[in-house]
Structure formats: C-alpha cells, structure tokens
Structure 1
Amino acid sequence: MSRWLINIYLLGVKELRSLFADPILLFLIFYMFSFAIYAVATGAKTEIGNAAVAYVDLDQSALTGRIVDAILPPEFEAPQRIALSEVDGVMDRGEFVFVLSFPPRFEADVLSGAHPSLQMNVDATAMTQAGNGSVYLQTIIASEIERFVTGDDTSSNLPIDLVVTAHFNPNLQSIWFNSVMQIINNITILAILLTGAALIREREHGTIEHLLVMPVNATEIMLAKICANGLVIVVGAILSLWLVVQGWLQVPIAGSIPLFVAGTILYLVSVTGLGILLATFTTSMPQFGLLVMPVLVIMNLLSGSTTPIESIPFWLQAIMQGSPSTHFIAFSQAILYRGAGFDTVWPDMLVMAILSTVFFAISLMRFRQTMAGSQ
C-alpha cells in the first residue's frame, strides 16, 4: 500500500512539474480564475441597464411629458423624441430597444375613461432587455397615469399592501450570480482540459513509453493525473472565491467554503476522469479540443448553470441526471448562494460520489486499453 501511494505521489509531482513548465496552461488557469470571472460578472448583466428609449408624442400633453420624465437612468437612457415616420427605420437599425407612441388626445381620453391605446414597440432581439425593460416601462406608465388621474402621488388602488422580499440577492444584482457561477463552470472546463492535455502531452513528448516500462500501473498513473490537476483547480477556485469574488467584486459568499471544497473534490474525480476518457479517443490537442467543445457546451447549458434545469424538457432532465455537472451545480448553488449545510446537500454529494466511481471505472478501463495498445 505504501509503495502504491509513493508511486502516485511521485507521478503527481511529475505532473505538477510538467504543468508548471507549460506557460500557456498556466496563463489559462490564471485567466480563467481571475479576469474571466470579472469580465463575465460585470459584462454579462441580466438586469436592465442603459436601454435606449425613443418616443413619438402626437398628444404633447402634461401626461405624456410626465411619463417621459419618469423614464430615468440607470435603467434607461434619456428618452429621445422622434417623428412617427422614423419608427420603422430606427427599429430596423437597432438604434432603440423601446419606442413609445402616444396617440392624439391621449390625456383627454384617459381623463374621460375612454381607455386609449399606448403602443410600445420592442426590439426583442435584445432578449433580456426586451423582457425586463417592458415590465419596467409598463410599471412606470401605469404608475404615472394613476397618479395623474388621482392627483395623489402616494395613492394606490391595490386592495393589498404587496411587499416583495428577495432572498439571497436582495438587490437582484446579476453580478452576484454570474461571478460565482463562472467559477463553478470554469472548474468543469479546466478539469477536462488539464487532465486531457496531460495525457496528450505524454503522447506528443513520447513519455508515455517511459511510463510503460516503469513499475507503475494504469491506476497509479491516472490517479496521479487526477490528483495533481485537481489540486491546482481546487487551489485556483478557493483563491478566486476569496480574492476575486469576495475581494475584488465584493460579492458575499453565504455558505461554507470547506464544504464546497469537499464536494468539488468528489466532483473532480468524475470530470477529470471524463477528460482522460475523451483524450484516449484522440491523438493530438486539436482533435481533443474539437471533441471537448460540444461536451462542454452541453454540460454547461443543460446542467442548470445558465437556465433552471426545470425549464428543459422532462426527457432531457432525466438524461442530464446522469451528468455529474448537474448535481455539482445544484450542490454549489445551494452552498454558495443560499448558505446550505451538509444536511441539505448530502444527497447531491452522494450522487456525485456514485457518478465519480462510475466515470472513474469507465475511464480507467479505456485508459488501460490505450496503454496496452501503445506497448
């Protein structure tokens, strides 16, 4: 047993030396856990911000002026007045996301109870802004009309006092979600890339033949690659959570980081094994990259990281339960967003442990076949 552990340790040290001698991979790791987190967190916002608004005012009344004045930054840019004949042109060119058209006698019809129509043209190619911004504008318009008609800026006709409380992200800032989610996604990406690249590097440099004549077996070689690359990823993720997310972006972490690390280690066994498995079907880094890309796209898009898992078809949900990334994302979100403890996340940890065993066994079997074919 001691000889087995020593072999894994020495092979792991060899893996770390090979990794640290590769400046491209080192830069990739640094970038993925630093600038990539910041860029996605601050750039890929889902809330409405600085949306361009234009309006056509055929009424030119106090009410239309009041509505226009209520459309304010930072959600919207200052509304610009255009002519009715310009609407189609500015929408086709994508100059504005929203164009409001106030008909003649709009204020008079409102006051007389004639229920006039107010047209809102929306550029729905800007999907996030179109959806959220339409709701914002409808709320603004309804509120201003009600205040104008009643003459009371504090009045409300609602029979209830509706109080909205947002848990875990009280200001609904997408940066809180995107920054942490990007770390979770990057763990998957790097785990597959680093372990796969480690095996490809052995082939390209001809060192796989050296390993075959040494007193080590396939299990020791594979475990060394998993442990060495997994260690680098875990350390990078912890530093990114502390320095980038909590320090640079000022995003709070709700739950236990040690518990998150424990689950990450379980997850890495399966996903690093997947990286080795994919690498056994290729002979060069370009082939490996082409094979990895569709796998990563499916794992990231359909595992609940981008949209809730409940939003995809039921049959696809059932298939994705066999992906360790689905359970890792649920596990990570529960801890880092909602502060869940072990009593809440243990089912996901159990499933990850089972899937890790299955993926490791399949990868090891394929890896042995590949090594036997190299002899």
Structure 2
Amino acid sequence: MLRRKIENIYRLGVKELWSLWRDPVMLVLILFVFTFAVYSSASSAPETLNNAPIAIVDEDQSQLSQRIVSAFYPPEFTPPIMIDQSQVDAGMDAGDYTFALIIPPNFQRNVLAGRRAEIQLNTDATRMTQAFTGSGYVQQIVMGEINEFVQRYRGSNAPAVELALRARFNPSLDKSWFGGLTQIINQIAMLSIILSGAALIREREHGTIEHLLVMPVTPAEIMLAKVWSMGLVVLVAAALSLNIVVRGALGVPVAGSLGLFFAGAALVLFATTSLGIFMATIARNMPQFGMLTVLTLMPLQMLSGGSTPFESMPVAVQTVMQAAPTTHFVKLGGAILFRGAGIDVVWPQFLALTVIGLVLFAFSLARFRKTISRMA
C-alpha cells in the first residue's frame, strides 16, 4: 500500500515536470529570476553610490584643491568633469551631473591661516537616493583631504589612539556579496509559490484536474507530487544560479556548507509550495492568483529581513513575521552562506521551518480536499 502511494506521488510529480517543460512562459521566468535578476540585483544596488557624475569648479588652483579633485574616482563617482562657474546651472538643469563642487579662490590660504573657509556643493535632489548618500560621501572625502593636508603642512603628531576598523565576513565591503546571495534566497520563496500555484490553476483551466478525480489517487498524493516536483525545479535552478551566476560571474565566496543551506532550502520549499497551492485553491483563475501572489510576496520579501534589518522593524511586525517561513530562511541563509554557521547555530530555524511547513501543508491539504469535493 505504501509502495503504491509512493509510486503515485512519483508519477504524478513526473507529470508535473513534463507540464512545466511544455510551458515556455514559466521556463523563461525561471531562467530570468535565477540569472539576470540575480546578477542585476547584485551589481546595481540602488542604496549604494555607483558612478555618480560629479563636476568640479576649481577657482583656487592650489595643491589642496588638486588633492580634493583627485580624491573622486570610480566606482563611487565618475572621473570629475572640470567646468567653469558659468557652466554649473546649465549642467545641473540638463542633468549632466548629480553633484557640482565649487572650490572658491584663496581656499587653501584661508584653511592654513585658520580663517573661515567655505566650499559649495550643489546637488541634484531629483536623484534622491544618490543625492542623499552621495552628499555624505562628498563631505567625508573633502574633510578627509583637508585634515590630512593640514596635518602634513603643520607637522602635527599623530593622535595617541588610532581606530582600527575590521569588517568581518565581507572585508572589501562589496555590495554584490550581499545582493547576490540575498536575491537567491528571495527568489527561492517567490518562484516556489508561483510554480506550485500555477500548476494547480493550469490543471483546472485545462480540465485535467477532472482526470485526476477519477484516478485511484488521494488529494494528499496529488499535493505531495506538486510539492516535490516544483520544489525540485526551484532547488536545481537555485543551485545552478548559486554556482554559475553568484560564485562564477560575480565571484562571491560562500563561507558555509552548501549542503546545509540547500537542506534548509528544501524545508522552506515544503512550506512555500504548500502556501502556493493554498492560494491557488482560493483564486479562480490565473489573474486572481497573480494578484494574491503580489499581496503575499511583497510583505514576505520586505518584512523578512532580506531587504532591511529585521531588528529595526516594530516589535509587532517582528512578532507577526515569526510565522512566515521566509523570515527563518533569511536568518538561516545569511548565517550559513555569510558567516559559515553550522547546524549547532541554525537548528532553531530548521525546527521553525519544519513546524511552519507542516502547518501550511495541513491547511493547504484541507482546503485542497474541499475544493476537489466541490468539483466532484
């Protein structure tokens, strides 16, 4: 009896894989989210400064002003464009550069004499993210060059206390390390919900669900087949993306065990595929399922700790999101991939994912049985 159930689950799962293979839209979606979406998200993070155009008006033509000009270079800024005072407004209006730094005459002389020295920074605030982040960068760079120049000129002694900054797990502070791996984690949850839900709705729209009702299979076998088949597709795609795109194209090192990470991914796939099937039983067609997916994925991705630190959210949100599988998967994935954690560290997340997965599967199975009974 058990052997027959396992064979039914296996054969129904193979049927799901063949149905997915004949769906070019879903195949393109899988290819896109695990290649281009991962690469672009890792290499172009909007919250960081990257190739911001800057122009400089150097009316002082001094050693200090030249030091300031040479301090701006890629990847944070493009090589500075040297312009005249009369070109500032026109260039800002045309959007040719985000920042325009004006160094007035006698700037170095005033600095060395201890007199009030002013420098003007014009910022195009319509480019809000770059303007906010870049203004701080510019101020830090300018003040750093001024302080270093003054110390060398006056021959002052070095401070008795020196601050040594050590960045762990990402010593080069490369944003692609975080962006690439986090995107893999987010895409696993997103794609598993879409594939499992779309598989059920596709059968309902094509009329093949009625064929299953007359076969000697149970709702649990049908649902388990969808869970393992769609979960396997996402797991294989994620493994290829992690090794080819993240580790290969982006050159991001992985600190921990990939086997342990994908074991956690299998648990979260069990939960999210069950959630996708539950949503598909509520939606009547694919457009409705798409709307439900948007309403579900947005809070899952934004409030699970993958985009912003989980600890910075309100306590009420943190409490509610403990019931989301993605919250524990983000913690698990970050601990393993970034910090090289073992099972002794991430076992609470494994346990939480197991419980959440069983609860979601039970709810989805009950809803699935009810839906099938209505169709019968």
TM-score by length of 1: 0.92
* Native 8 Å contact 1:46 1:174 kept in 2: no
Q: Does 1:28 align with 2:29?
A: yes
What's the offset of the Cα at 1:60? Answer: 4.4
- CA deviation string 1:27-73 (max 9, x = no partner): 22222222332232223365433211123445444432332233233
What whole-Å deviation, never above 9, does each CA across 1:166-200 have from its counterpart, x for those lacking one? Answer: 11111111111111111111111110110011101
Q: Distance in 1 between matches of 2:332 and 2:128?
A: 29
- Aligned partner letter, 1:13: V
Between the aligned partners of 1:340 and 1:125, the Cα distance in structure 2 is: 42
> Structure 1 residues 125, 314: CA separation in 2 closer, same or farther (over 3 Å shift)?
farther
Indicate how the Cα distance of structure 1 residues 82 and 247 shifts in structure 2: closer, same or farther if over 3 A, else same.
closer
Q: Corresponding residue for 1:44?
A: 45
Q: Name whichever of 145-154 and 168-177 sits farther off.
A: 145-154
**1:251 matches 2:252:** yes
Q: CA deviation at 1:348?
A: 1.0
Gaps of 5+ in 1: none
Q: Would the alpha carbon gap of residues 313 and 12 (structure 1) be closer, same or farther in structure 2, given more than 3 Å must change?
A: same
2:147 corresponds to 1:146: yes
Do structure 1's residue 301 and structure 2's residue 312 form an aligned pair?
no
How many Å apart are 1:83 and its aligned residue? 4.8
Letter in 1 for 2:341: A
What SS class does the counterpart of residue 72 from structure 1 fall into?
coil
Q: What displacement does 1:282 show?
A: 1.6
- CA distance, structure 2, for counterparts of residue 189 and residue 165 of structure 1: 35
Does 66-75 or 12-21 show the bigger shift? 66-75
**Alignment CA distance shift 1:124-1:363 (3 Å):** farther
Q: Is the 8 A contact 1:176 1:251 kept in 2?
A: yes
Shift of 1:157: 4.6
CA distance in 2, matches of 1:56, 1:162: 34
Aligned CA-pair RMSD: 2.3
Mark the CA change 1:155 to 1:199 in structure 2 (over 3 Å): closer, same or farther. farther
Quote the Cα distance in structure 2 between the aligned partners of 1:213 and 1:164.
67
Give the percent of matched residue pairs that are identical in Structure 1 and Structure 2: 51
2:101 — aligned with what?
Answer: 100
Contact 1:49–1:74, Cα closer than 8 Å, also in 2: yes
Q: 1:79 to 1:301 in 2, by over 3 A?
A: same
Distance 1:248 1:77, change over 3 A: closer
Question: CA distance change for structure 1 residues 300 and 141 in 2, over 3 Å: closer, same or farther?
Answer: same
Alpha-carbon spacing, 1:322–1:56, altered in 2? closer, same or farther (3 Å): same
Matching of residues 232-243 of structure 1 within 5 Å: 232-243=233-244
1:181 aligns with 2:182: yes
1:242-281: per-residue Cα shift (whole Å, max 9, x none)?
Answer: 2222223221111111111111111111111111111112
Indicate the larger mover: 364-373 or 314-323.
314-323
Give the equivalent residue in structure 2 for 1:289. 290
Aligned to 2:197: 196
Aligned to 2:271: 270
User: 1:369 aligns to what?
Assistant: 370
Separation in 2, partners of 1:296, 1:154: 59
2:251 and 2:82 map into 1 onto residues whose CA distance is 39
- Supply the distance in 1 between the matched residues of 2:69 and 2:195 (Cα, whole angstroms): 54
SS state at 2:122 partner: strand
Change (3 A) 1:59 1:289: same
1:278-302, Cα deviation, whole Å (9 max, x unpaired): 1112222222112211211221111
Amino acid at match of 1:333: G
Deviation at 1:154, TM superposition (A): 9.4
Shift of 1:125: 4.5
Unpaired segments ≥5 residues, structure 2 = none
* 2:326 match: 325
| Alignment check: 8 A CA contact 1:147 1:154 kept | no
Shift of 1:313: 2.3
How far apart are the structure 2 equivalents of 1:82 and 1:254? Answer: 47
Matched, 1:6 2:7: yes
Give the 3 Å change call, closer, same or farther, for CA 42–154 of structure 1 in structure 2.
Answer: farther
Q: Is the 8 A contact 1:166 1:172 kept in 2?
A: yes
Query: 1:123/1:269 Cα in 2 relative to 1: closer, same or farther (>3 Å)?
Result: same
* Equivalence for 2:173: 172
DSSP-derived class of the 2:282 partner = coil
Distance verdict in 2 for CA 1:323–1:27, change over 3 Å:
same
Q: Secondary structure at the match of 1:142?
A: helix
